[in-house]
Amino acid sequence: MKGIFITIEGPDGSGKTSVIHSLLPKLEESLAQAIVATREPGGSKIAEKIRELILNPEHTEMDVRTEALLYAAARRQHLVEKIIPALNEEKIVVCDRFVDSSLAYQGVARGIGIEQIAAINQFATEGLSPDITLYLDVEAHIGLERINKNKDIRQFDRLDQEDLTFHQSVRSAYLDLVEKNPTRMVLVNANQELEKVISDCYVIVLEYFRQL
């Protein structure tokens, strides 16, 4: 059996981290493959250093193209150090964010353009794409309410400082990506209670494995 690459995507406040934390133990019980959990930006020593640079809320002067290139650089290092080796060892990799995030945030919300962001990430990833992507969809104002409510227990980063219009653009971009990639991306209603979101994700992943 080959390695399987699963990504979890969603706007800020969609609950990705909480879902992954609870989903992995359930998958480990049901699937006969080792699971590696990771995240972007980050996931490896160098990539985590780049993450600190990108998300530091003090770096408000960062140029949007600099931001996009740093995400791609972190992604490349993460791939070669962690994701590709795990897939070669026939493990399941579950990653919190991947290229779709760059397309939505930098390509659309930052206004750089989907094609430009796709090009630099094609270079960074050499065309590696997830086998399946769960997109946790939440309305922008609900996501921001969750962020503000959980400031004391959640890292408040540079992107969290953006206004509602920015986050609405991110969500709209994700919905377009889901529409254009129906065989890879599956929409999950993240406006629901957390336990229901986790259950929905679990059922979707198990169904994917049944069809392999």
What is the per-residue pLDDT across 71-121, written as a single tens digit (0 to 9) for each? 999 999 999 999 999 999 999 999 999 999 999 999 999 999 999 999 999
- The pTM of the full predicted model, rounded to 2 decimals, is 0.94
Predicted pLDDT of residue 211: 94
Predicted pLDDT of residue 113: 98
Burial readout 136-156 (b: 16 or more C-beta within 10 A, e: otherwise):
bbbbbeebbebbeeeeeebee
Predicted pLDDT of residue 154: 53
Q: Residue 120 has which token pair?
A: 């630099």
**Region label for 92, one of left (φ > 0), alpha (ψ between -120 and 50) or beta (otherwise):** beta
Burial of 183 from C-beta contacts in 10 A (0-12 / 13-18 / 19+)? exposed
Predicted pLDDT of residue 116: 98
* Spans of the chain, pLDDT less than 50: none
Residues 6+ apart with CB under 8 A from 128: 5, 79, 83, 84
Predicted pLDDT of residue 63: 96
Q: Residue 33 has which token pair?
A: 């493959």
Structural domains of the chain, ranges and CATH numbers in brackets: 4-210 (3.40.50.300)
